[in-house]
Structure 1
Amino acid sequence: MDIHYRNEPPQFDGANLQMHFIAEVDGEPLDCAITAEALEDHFGAQSALEGPLREAFQRGQTLIRAVCTRAIEQGAGPVVLHSGRFRSPDVPDVLH
């Protein structure tokens, strides 16, 4: 499975309090998202407003993509990363 992430800024989804980003899986786009709660809990977003969520996403982008890749490899899709996904024991030690 070939997974790459587009170098585009994430899109804010205020209705669902998520930041959306695109993974390309074997050349096909896959909508992925991380919740505001996860960005607040694990990446220091000070609120669920767009600006703080964008900053938190930028800070955590490497780990967010790593966890998303694992979710895709496990067959999840489309992927929504909730806070609990980052509490999993298989999350890289960078976070723990």
Structure 2
Amino acid sequence: MHIHFPQERPEYCARDLVIAFPAEIGGERVQCAITAEALEDHFGAASLREDDLIAAFDTHRYPIEQAARRLLDEVGARPVMLHSGYFRFCD
């Protein structure tokens, strides 16, 4: 399965406290997201503010996308959510 992550600006979702970013699998877009908690716990986000979460995502985009890739390999072309607990055990 070929998974590609377009280099688009991630989207902040205040209601769910996540940063969403797209993946493309076989030309089909699939939404991926990482929780604010995961960004604080594992990627140095200074706070839950949108600017801090986006900055942490941008700084650590590659390892976040690689984690999403591992999940997408497992579940196929379905949306994935990266929680803090996933990063405790994925490495």
The TM tier, using the shorter chain, reads: over 0.9
TM-score (norm 1): 0.90
Q: Which runs of 5+ in 2 are unaligned?
A: none
Q: Does 1:70 align with 2:70?
A: yes
The CA distance in 1 between the partners of 2:9 and 2:42, in whole Å, is 19
Q: Give the AA of the match of 1:82.
A: H
Structure 1, unmatched stretches of 5+, are: 92-96
User: Any idea what SS the aligned residue of 1:24 has?
Assistant: strand
**Equivalent residue number for residue 40 of structure 2:** 40
Structure with the bigger percentage of helix = 2
Task: Please show how residues 1-96 of structure 1 align to structure 2 within 5 Å.
Answer: 1-75=1-75, 77-88=78-89, 90-91=90-91
Pairwise CA distance, 1:87: 1.0
Identity %: 44
CA distances 1:3-61 after superposition (whole Å, capped 9, x unpaired): 00011010000000000000001110000000000000001001111000011001110
Between the two proteins, the alignment pairs up a number of residues equal to 90
Taking structure 2 as the reference length, what is the TM-score of the superposition?
A: 0.95
Which secondary structure does the structure 2 equivalent of 1:74 belong to? Answer: helix
Q: Which runs of 4+ in 1 moved over 3 A?
A: none
Amino acid at match of 1:55: A
